[in-house]
Amino acid sequence: MACIIATMYLTKEQEAMLDGEHGSIIARMMRLLVRLGDIYNAEKMIKVASVQVAGVSYKSIGDPGLEFLQDIAKEARVRVLTFLNPAGMDLEKWKEMGIDESFAKKQLAIIEAFRKMCIIISATCTPYLAGNLPHYKQHIAWSESSAVSFANSVIGARTNREGGPSALAAAITGFTPYYGLHLDENRQPDYVIEVKTELKHNSDFAAMGYYIGKAIKNKIPYFKGIKEADTDQLKALGAAAAASGAVALYHVDGITPESDKVGIDGLEKIEFGKDELKETYEMLNNGEEPDIVIFGCPHASIAEIFKIAKILEGRKAKRPFWIVTSRATKEMARKIGLEEAIEKAGGKIYADTCMVVSPIENLFKTTGVNSAKAAHYLPGFCKQKVVFNNMEALLK
Ligand code: F3S
């Protein structure tokens, strides 16, 4: 029998969780979800198929975050498939990256707390490329903004942009409040974006996403005029729009799965052409000669690593470069000889981390990236000057 707590219906199981019958941590997590649901007028809770938890890097959460996680880990275990967002370092090769021992110790303690909760230690913002692939219309609770955008837009799964604590609460209880992007009626576009220029490079898609996110904030865009886009280009677009605005869902005419199910009549139009593309590249550049080039924001796919190896075939890159990716992708790259090819060309592949959440401010001053999201965060989070360009130009 269901009963009502505040404004939301809870099943008997959920009510028992709230009443502490499954332990005090589960009750605490359920309280958080009920409060969140009440704020957004959710009518009920729904089961989630998987969770992705952010707030993993010691650089982002510090000692208070570590203590909070250690406290939760004493008692709580996750009930659904749960992955992590990138940590502050490669969990195996942190010394080689130049990470300080005291930072590493704290980072490993954070990972240990997550491990105790039975979370899969796959620290990546592309869980969908690393073994956590939801299906169309499946309800999930993910928190990293580019992963949220990809899941909603490219896969057609349903997730709100969870915060670290609400994602952890969903992992521990198995539920999330039913509101926002879980509901079909909230997935309608707000703007039509008329794309009037050719987008060749992943960085062009990223620049467009950045421009549109800045213009429309947290609304939903519907892109028209994109003839083709591969998975990496879509992930670059979504990541950038989520960084400059808070776009958690976009549609691309003829490409994304809900584009022929939503209406666009009467919507305000925004044009994106050659001038806007040029303007965005200029906006994202404030550096001259990078000390390092880092690819993989969002985490590089095997196709991107292959492309980099191909560009550099038979030669060394002019500058040192890193590729950041998931451990699953790095392992695949190693097994098929791609890691060796990258190292021969002067690069390194690091897993579990990224250029924004690792303390690269202690290592470099100017970073080259083809990601608009990284270009957006590097100056503030890592005190970097940024060179934003396409992959080929950065590898010249
Ligand atoms: Fe991923 Fe880090 Fe970029 S978490 S989306 S690589 S800022």
| SS3 assignment, position 217 | coil
Candidates 168, 60, 59, 161; CA nearest to 113 is 168
pTM: 0.97
- The total domain count for the chain is 3
* Residue 10 dihedral angles phi and psi, to the nearest 5°: -125, 140
Residue 239 CA, ligand 1 centroid: distance in Å: 8
Residue 304 CA, ligand 1 centroid: distance in Å: 15
- Report how far residue 212's alpha carbon sits from residue 30's, in angstroms, rounded to the nearest whole number: 36
pLDDT tens digits, one per residue of 339-349: 999 999 999 99
Nearest atom within ligand 1 for CA of residue 144: 4
pLDDT tens digits, one per residue of 233-270: 999 999 999 999 999 999 999 999 999 999 999 999 99
| Same structural domain, 297 and 155 | no
Residues with CB under 6 A from ligand 1: 85-86, 125, 144, 146, 239, 297-299, 354, 356-357, 373-374, 377
| Same structural domain, 171 and 207 | no
- Report how far residue 386's alpha carbon sits from residue 380's, in angstroms, rounded to the nearest whole number: 11
Q: Whose CA is nearest to atom 3 of ligand 1?
A: 297
DSSP track, 343-390: HHTTEEEEESB-TTTS-GGGT-SEEEES-HHHHHHHHHHH--EEEE--
Tell me the CATH number at 45.
3.30.499
Tell me the CATH number at 375.
3.30.499.10
- Expressed as residue numbers, the domain containing 245 is 188-283
Residue 106 CA, ligand 1 centroid: distance in Å: 20
| Same structural domain, 157 and 206 | no
Alpha-helix residue ranges (DSSP H) falling in 80-224: 94-97, 101-116, 145-150, 164-173, 202-216
| Same structural domain, 161 and 248 | no
CA distance readout (Å), 79 to 47, 49, 118: 10, 10, 9
- Report how far residue 78's alpha carbon sits from residue 388's, in angstroms, rounded to the nearest whole number: 39
**pLDDT value of position 1:** 46
- Give the pLDDT band (50/70/90) at residue 4: very low
Of 129, 146, 327, the one to substitute when testing ligand 1's pocket (max ligand atoms within 8 A of C-beta) is: 146
| Same structural domain, 88 and 146 | yes
Residue 356 CA, ligand 1 centroid: distance in Å: 7
